[in-house]
Amino acid sequence: MTSSDGYLLDNRQKEAAERFDAFAALFDPTTFRHIEAFGIGPGWRCWEVGAGGTSVVSWLARKVGPTGRVVATDIDTSRITAAAQAGNPPVEVRVHDVGAEEPPGEGFDLVHARLVLVHVPDRERALRSMIQALRPGGRLLVEDADPALQPLICPDEYGPEQRLANRLRQGFRKLLAERGADLSYGRKLPRLLREAGLSEVEADAFFPMTSPACTALEAATVRQIRDRLVTAGLATDEDIDQHLGNVEAGSMDLVTAPMISAWGRKD
């Protein structure tokens, strides 16, 4: 997206499905809780930005029903197309770059993006586009990680396995930063939503620790970026094999970066 060698976490790689499943297990309850609090119901018009997987799109479609509409966009729609083909008539899937194109409509009751804007080169334009697409009274929910707020995958670094895990995580963060990711974006969201003119701005954070989904996410992520880590000299194949073995053994307490959820209302 910001580098000639492309997006670091390509949706078409086989590990992407495992990562989306882990994200759904970790973060869907938080996302759904916030959207439920907005009062979502039949007839709502929703834009899911950078949908990636299908879990949020399918849930929204069930909530809005046949009288509603869900527009699901991503730069790669290869995985979300299934949501539109699985008995979800209100789902419309579009290839779309939120940081470079006009919004795919207007008058939305809800616009939501999760773990998206941190990777978008023109985050400012993307946020403006999302707000532009809302109807007066519509709600924006942006959820993004803040890896700089808690940079370790093993905060309890008590042995060599944890030190290796944290070293590889540091390499992953370096690769993200080189591709334009803002690793401290999550903490900025409440301020950015207020500065963009939204009212009733609130935020909270979710910080998963020690769950099967954290373990699955780490294994899939390391396999997905393995070649990039080795090519950049950030790890050896031996390092990665050792780490994946440690992860599989299940003896480490693995965490994710805190996910900051911020929301506001368009007047």
How confident is the model over 231-261, as pLDDT tens digits? Answer: 999 999 999 999 999 999 998 999 999 999 9
At 16, is the pLDDT very low, low, confident or very high (cuts 50, 70, 90)? confident
- The pTM (predicted TM-score) of the whole model is 0.92
Sheet containing 199-206, strands listed edge to edge, beginning at the edge strand earlier in sequence: 91-95, 69-74, 45-49, 108-114, 134-145, 259-265, 199-206
Mean pLDDT for all residues in the chain: 91
Cβ pair 225, 243 in contact under 8 A: no
> Residues 202-215: what's their mean pLDDT?
95
Q: How far apart are CA 47 and CA 263, in angstroms?
A: 15
Question: For the purposes of burial, counting CB atoms within 10 Å of the CB of 40, is it exposed (0-12), middle (13-18) or buried (19 or more)?
Answer: buried
Domain ranges of the chain: 15-148+181-208+257-265
Residues facing 111 on adjacent strands: 47, 140
Query: Could you report the per-residue pLDDT of 146-159, keeping only the tens digit for each?
Result: 999 999 999 999 99
Which parts of the chain fold into alpha helices (H)?
Answer: 15-37, 55-64, 81-84, 123-132, 160-178, 189-195, 212-231, 237-249
**Fold exhibited by the domain 15-148+181-208+257-265:** Rossmann fold (3.40.50)
